[in-house]
């Protein structure tokens, strides 16, 4: 098996494959990704079933509400790699996820309460509006800002390009490194010449650094999920199969549908949400291939649609049976067979074994997963030591698959002795 530096070749091929896709394929529905979940996070998918526990890689559709409790924070990744992050005790509503006649993305997010960060990349023609405290920020170019709203007022802190905030008092221009405050008892907003630091600023900054480093070679139309592919796995040329991406720490018995959930969405039915931290793009584009002597790898290709993306080749050789969507209207149906393959050691190191495929490994917390992957292949396990350059995730590890069921969920029998909950993104 050849071990070549195929990343530039792969990125070029993927760019061509995805740029030829229709903007929203056959569904004409925009869907964005819940890309990070920490602590207590809940989602209301506008399905009539109320709030349920949120977990990594859940699709977010128009009308979805997302809220964090006192221990929670979350990140939402848009198609071009733009990010919305929400701190603890925050509620947002995705009131519009639409396309213009020219196929530009039109997004409206309402901040109901709490604190949110927006890092908008500003792709040509795309527009975003963020509503808060009776004010609206309309973004048509790259932007990075923080907004906080409470019962008595609100504040916007601008980290990047000039912004315009419109509301009852008119239009206010907020330059880079300036902030503006709105008070319920005062008619006019107050503009400050500086930005007061916030405890969540470091989390936001390090999360941006993580995505920038691990997706910097990606230029696809569909960019969300690219950074996680770069961190959690690598590309290899497999004779007879071409260039495949494979996550680190897979093990001989692993398959890409061992852990995840079927989640119900109104008008769309059940959609597959992978439990793996890299589990977005490989489940909606291309195929999963089973190559004897190599195992499962992802090959980019055509659009597979939002309803699960369960496309695979060579399954009979692997004795593989894909999970089937459940029936009924439960919120989520859990699929879990991976077991506890990542164990806690201390607050600065953890033990990983073959078969984890990245499950339970906080993103960006370790410098070189490739080196550890080789050690696992030789010895069956490796100790990972934290290198908090991108401490985007809490330092508290959790055993993925050992928690309780998602509220309103059902379990899917996958042939193992027990099914496990997908948990909350691999850590709690």
pLDDT digits (tens, 9 = 90+) for 4-17: 333 433 334 443 43
Position 337 scores a pLDDT of 57
> Sign of the CA dihedral 347, 353, 355, 357?
positive
To the nearest whole percent, how much of the chain has pLDDT over 90? 44
pLDDT at 399 over 50: no
Which pLDDT score is estimated for 305?
67
Query: Per mean pLDDT, which range of 57-71, 130-144, 182-196, 328-342 is the poorest?
Result: 328-342
In degrees rounded to 5, what are phi and psi of residue 68? -110, 145
Those residues whose C-beta lies under 8 Å from the C-beta of residue 327, and which sit 6 or more positions away, are none
Q: Is residue 310 part of a domain?
A: yes
Mean pLDDT of 187-199: 92
pLDDT higher than 70, residue 341: no
pLDDT at 331 over 70: no
- Identify whether the C-beta of residue 277 lies closer than 8 Å to the C-beta of residue 289: no
Does 294 fall in a domain? yes
406 vs 174: which has the higher pLDDT: 174
**Does residue 62 lie within any of the structural domains?**
no
Mean pLDDT taken over the chain = 79
pLDDT at residue 309, rounded to an integer: 55
Angle at 15 between CA 11 and CA 20, to 5 degrees: 160
Q: Which residue has the higher pLDDT, 245 or 28?
A: 245
pLDDT grade for 367, boundaries at 50, 70 and 90: confident
Mean pLDDT confidence for 170-186: 93
pLDDT of 170 over the 50 cut: yes
Token representation of residue 229: 């592919």
Instruction: Assess if residue 301 is contained within a domain.
Output: yes
With respect to residue 111, please indicate whether it lies within any of the assigned structural domains: no
Segment 388-400 shows an average pLDDT of 39
Say if 191 falls within a structural domain: no
* Tally of domains within the chain: 1
Report which of residues 394 and 283 the model is more confident about: 283
SS in 3 state form for the chain? CECCCCHHHHHHHHHHHHHCCCCCCCCCCCCEEEEEEECCEEEECCCCCCCEECCCCCEECCCCEEEECCCCEEEEECCCCCEEEECCCEEEEEEEEEECCCCCEEEEEEEEEEEEEEEECCCCCCEEEEEECCEEEEECCCEEEEEEEECCEEEEEECCCCEEEEECCEEEEECCCEEEEEECCCCCCEEECCCCCCCCHHHHHHHHHHHHHHCCCCCCCCCCCHHHHHHHEEEEEECCCEEEEEECCCCCCCCCCCEEEEEEECCCEEEEEECCCCCCHHHCEEEEEEECCCEEEEEEEEECCCCCCCCEECHHHHCCCCCCCCCCCCCEEEEECCCCCEEECCCCEEEEECCCCCCCCCCCCCCCHHHHHHHHHHHCEEEEECCHHHCCCCCCCCCCCCCCCCCCEEECCCCCCCCCCCCCCCCC
Tens of pLDDT, residue by residue over 265-275, are: 888 888 889 99
Contact 264, 208 (CB under 8 A): no
Looking at the domain assignment, is residue 347 inside a domain? yes
**Given CA atoms 416, 417, 421, 427 in this order, what sign does their dihedral have?**
negative
What is the per-residue pLDDT for 29? 72
Residue 334: pLDDT over 60: yes
Looking at the domain assignment, is residue 312 inside a domain?
A: yes
* pLDDT band for position 43 (cuts 50, 70, 90): very high
Q: Is the pLDDT of residue 417 over 60?
A: no
Residue 297 has pLDDT above 90, yes or no: yes
Contacts of 17 (CB under 8 A, 6+ apart): 285, 286, 300, 301, 302
- Domain range holding 214? 209-411
Q: Are 62 and 44 in contact, with CB atoms under 8 Å apart?
A: no
Q: Specify the pLDDT at position 14.
A: 41
Compute the distance between CA of residue 299 and CA of residue 302 in angstroms, rounded to an integer.
Answer: 10
Q: Using CB atoms within 10 A of its CB, is residue 102 exposed (0-12), middle (13-18) or buried (19+)?
A: exposed
SS3 annotation, 121-190: CCCCCCEEEEEECCEEEEECCCEEEEEEEECCEEEEEECCCCEEEEECCEEEEECCCEEEEEECCCCCCE
Q: What is the pLDDT of residue 120?
A: 96
What is the pLDDT confidence band of residue 391, given thresholds at 50, 70 and 90? very low
User: 44 near 65, Cβ under 8 Å?
Assistant: yes
In the chain, what is the straight-line distance between the N-terminal and C-terminal CA atoms, in Å?
38
Answer yes or no: is pLDDT of 358 > 60: yes
pTM, entire model: 0.83
């Amino acid at each position: 098996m050849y071990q070549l530096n195929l990343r530039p070749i792969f990125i070029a091929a993927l760019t061509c494959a995805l740029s030829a896709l229709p903007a929203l394929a056959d569904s004409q529905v925009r869907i964005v990704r819940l890309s990070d979940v920490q602590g207590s996070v809940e989602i209301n998918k506008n399905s009539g079933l109320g709030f349920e526990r949120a977990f990594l890689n859940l699709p977010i559709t128009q009308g979805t509400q997302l809220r964090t409790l006192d221990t929670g924070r979350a990140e939402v990744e848009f198609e071009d790699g733009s990010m919305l992050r929400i701190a603890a005790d925050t509620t947002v509503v995705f009131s519009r996820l639409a396309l213009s006649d020219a196929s530009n993305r039109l997004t409206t997010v309402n901040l109901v309460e709490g604190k949110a960060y927006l890092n908008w990349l500003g792709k040509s023609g795309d527009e975003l509006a963020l509503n808060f405290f009776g004010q609206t920020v309309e973004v048509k170019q790259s932007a990075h800002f923080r907004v906080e709203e409470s019962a008595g007022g609100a504040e916007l802190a601008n980290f990047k390009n000039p912004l315009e905030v419109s509301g009852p008092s008119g239009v206010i221009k907020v330059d880079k490194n300036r902030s503006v405050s709105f008070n319920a008892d005062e008619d006019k907003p107050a503009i400050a010449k500086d930005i007061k630091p916030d405890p969540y600023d470091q989390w936001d900054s390090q999360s941006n650094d993580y995505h920038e480093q691990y997706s910097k070679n990606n230029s696809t139309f569909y960019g969300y999920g690219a950074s996680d592919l770069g961190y959690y796995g690598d590309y290899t040329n497999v004779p007879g199969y071409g260039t495949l991406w494979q996550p680190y720490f897979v093990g001989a018995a692993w398959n890409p549908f061992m852990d995840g959930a079927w989640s119900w969405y109104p008008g769309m039915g059940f959609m597959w949400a992978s439990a793996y931290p890299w589990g977005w793009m490989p489940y909606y584009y291309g195929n999963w291939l089973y190559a004897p002597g190599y195992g499962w790898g992802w090959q980019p290709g055509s659009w597979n649609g939002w309803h699960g993306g369960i496309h695979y080749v060579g399954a009979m050789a692997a004795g593989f049976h894909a999970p089937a969507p459940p029936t009924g209207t439960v919120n989520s149906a859990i699929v879990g067979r991976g077991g506890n393959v990542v164990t806690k050691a201390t607050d600065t190191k953890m033990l990983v074994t073959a078969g984890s495929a990245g499950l339970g490994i906080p993103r960006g917390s370790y410098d070189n997963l490739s080196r550890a992957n080789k050690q696992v292949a030789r010895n069956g396990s490796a100790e990972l030591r934290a290198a908090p350059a991108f401490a985007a995730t809490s330092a508290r590890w959790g055993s993925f698959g050992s928690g309780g069921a998602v509220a309103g969920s059902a379990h899917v029998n996958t042939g193992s002795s027990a099914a496990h909950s997908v948990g909350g993104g691999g850590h709690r």
